[in-house]
Amino acid sequence: MNVSTCFAAGASEPRVGNDDELSWIAFRDSPLGQRCRSSELKDDTGLSPALADHYAAVVARYWELGLLRGKLDQRAPLYVLDASDGCGRRAWLIHKQLMARLEQTPGLAGRCRYIIFSSHADELEPIERHPYFAAQIRSGRVDTALWDIEQGERCRLRHGAAALGPMRNPPVVLAHDLLGRLSRELYSLHYGKIFSTRMRYIGPGRLRAPSIAYEWLPEALADLPSAQMKLLRHYLGCVNSVQLMMPTGALRASDHLANLCCGRYLLLARGSGSAHLRQMHAVAEPLPARPAELGRAARRINYHVLARYLREEGCQVWHAQTGQAPVLTLALGPGESGATFSALPQLAALLSAADLVDNGWLAKSSDAWSIPQVLCLLRQARFDPAVFHVLFPVLDGKLTRNDDDWPHDWRQALSALWGQCFQGEPGAPLLIRRLVALAMRIGYWGLAREMLENLHQWYGGAAGDAYLLACCEAQTGRLTQALAYLLRARALAPECGHYSQAHAALERRQQERRGRAGAVLDGIADGELVLELLGPEHAPAFLHHYRDAQIGVMAGLPPMGTEAEVRSWIDSKALAPGRAMFAVMHRDWGFVGMTALDFAAATGLFYFWIGSDFQGQGVGKRAAALLCDKASVLGVKQLFTTVFEDNARSRAALLRSGFRPMTRRANAPYDALLFYRRCASDVDESLTIEHIAAFCRVFPVEFDFGTEQTASGEAVAA
């Protein structure tokens, strides 16, 4: 077998003959020297939401400067050429931010055409199928293109015009890590001499494993291409002995780009490599010693060499790199030097302001972070999923529902992280499942449900996901839907007995509720609110809201500090005859409060409380109206309720729910309470002694009426 053919194919374990002395091949013909596809290398450029926003700011400012100087053709579109990453997440991040910025800039709104390009059609097809990009392509704002930027082929659009010709406006090229995936050549400069590299495989022997050998051959400057000759002559004059990776493909790509747009362009790139001359001495790219290491070998680009070449061609170049982080590169084409000479400092200032989070440093110190600190870091990183994954062990170990900051801050944070999830990205399922775990932990059932439904739609159903959906439905008062999901989980994994047990437990719960007072109202709903009969399963959420001591005081409930005490109280109260107690369940948040009705004949006592996390949002009013409007199903025609005089919020909610205050005050110990009444449309609204007497049979209260009696001669007292 011809080893050079196998080598060019990029096999990590090439087949070798019995002869150890196989033919040598040039470095440029090896997998290390030939260009590769995005799917063959891990993308370590880390385009975060924060950096995407800075990219968008740079692009918008670049065109804005051209507009101010009269250098843009108002009749021609503005193109962004974005190198595909195979799934589209990078383009998705940048496109959203860029469109928002351009819409705010007069003269630029609606003019951008965003082209996602690759030299391989199969790297574009998943992007074209993605719902976000499919809609953008139909609108004409986005297109995909086949373009081999290294070979200089025409940029052929797949949905719009046949090909992009010379552009009348300067485009923006987002190369990302593309330059590092193009062809390369390895040289060694040693005290005034130049050596090229060739390689060979050494097959396994009795005492050795397969390996790769390298050999350095003298080269004459005159025999090299002119571009490489000029660069190598320059470095011979400023270094003594160094290994130099020549980005030959990137040099050719820059020439073809200049030809496409007449030398006017903005190039943004970010990838692993070296930006400074000193790094060429200290950080040489490691060469694989064994065939098995070929697939894992890093590809670093020498941005110092590329910048030297671009400047010789008349470009303006800016680099930024911190430690061994990826190099951030900004270049303006040679045609921009005179027209927008001041653009580079302004654009560089925007990029240098990107406050990028060092994930390696975060990982080393993650154990020391508190929950508030983690929240601050996520906000600083614009809720970057990569940062979230580094910090997830902290959240998994420390974030609980009992943290009083969760109602607002962590709902917002988890929603923002979910907003960064991109369909089709390889890491999306892991991100979704981690977010689901945290959302369920803090009681954000609506978000957990939404993420699980999308996970099922994007990647297919799994039994575990169906079970988690059942949990979300059960925790938000939708037992019918929960049972359906458990049936799906059983069908997908019949060997798992846990799903059958959970299904049987929910069926028992439904059966037990059918024999309770108020069962006819179990499950009544109004939009996202559902009332379900209160049971011991609500004890954990009940206790969480009961941490607000004012709830017990205002609702006249006893002190309860444990789930066992809450369950005991529910068991003693909820099953009493003539009493219907309901949990107020929200579609997104689950248990948010309680409402109840004690009734005898046509008279009922209504009372409710809503957790402090959800007060002031109209939940109490809607829950009260929902139960009161349906009370007639139980034969209740008039409702009474009580409230403390200083509870202005509840008094206002009662008035909005149709209750009217009574002028009479009760005797001690209820003399501090105000009494309200609401009656059905077919009941006389005037308050009579008979009405009050009926109320006293439901609630142990006495009113002082002196010698007044009901028509039957009954004293108005309990």
DSSP string, 155-180: BEESSSSS-B-S-SS--EEEEETGGG
pLDDT digits (tens, 9 = 90+) for 126-184: 999 999 999 999 999 999 999 999 998 888 999 977 788 888 899 999 999 899 889 99
Q: Which residues contact 707 (CB under 8 A, 6 or more apart)?
A: none
- Give the pLDDT of residue 450: 97
**Percent over 70 (pLDDT), the chain:** 89
- Give the pLDDT of residue 4: 33
- Give the pLDDT of residue 145: 94
- Give the pLDDT of residue 45: 53
Closest CA to 212 of 287, 289, 140, 264: 289
pLDDT digits (tens, 9 = 90+) for 688-702: 777 888 888 888 888
Is domain 41-183+247-354 given the CATH code 3.30.465.10 in the classification?
Answer: no
Delimit the domains of the chain by residue range. Answer: 1-30+185-245, 41-183+247-354, 359-513, 519-698
| pLDDT above 60: residue 707 | no
Chain-centre distance of CA 299, in angstroms? 29
Mutual orientation of helices 226-236 and 248-260 as an angle, nearest 10°? 120
pLDDT digits (tens, 9 = 90+) for 521-576: 999 999 999 999 999 999 999 999 888 888 888 888 899 989 999 999 999 988 88
Per the CB < 8 A criterion, the answer to whether 321 and 294 are in contact is no
- Give the pLDDT of residue 16: 37
Tokens representing 85? 């990453």
Is domain 359-513 given the CATH code 1.25.40.10 in the classification?
Answer: yes
**Superfamily designation of domain 519-698:** Gcn5-related N-acetyltransferase (GNAT) (3.40.630.30)
Highest mean pLDDT pick, 28-32, 474-478, 672-676: 474-478
How many helical (H) and strand (E) elements, i.e. helices and strands, does the chain have?
25, 23
- Give the pLDDT of residue 530: 95
DSSP β-bridge partners for residue 534: none
Tokens representing 235? 């470095």
CATH topology match: 359-513 vs 519-698: no
Task: Note the pTM of the prediction, 2 decimals.
Answer: 0.82
pLDDT digits (tens, 9 = 90+) for 575-617: 888 889 999 999 999 999 999 998 888 888 888 899 988 888 8
pLDDT digits (tens, 9 = 90+) for 399-440: 887 765 556 889 999 999 999 999 888 889 999 999 999 999
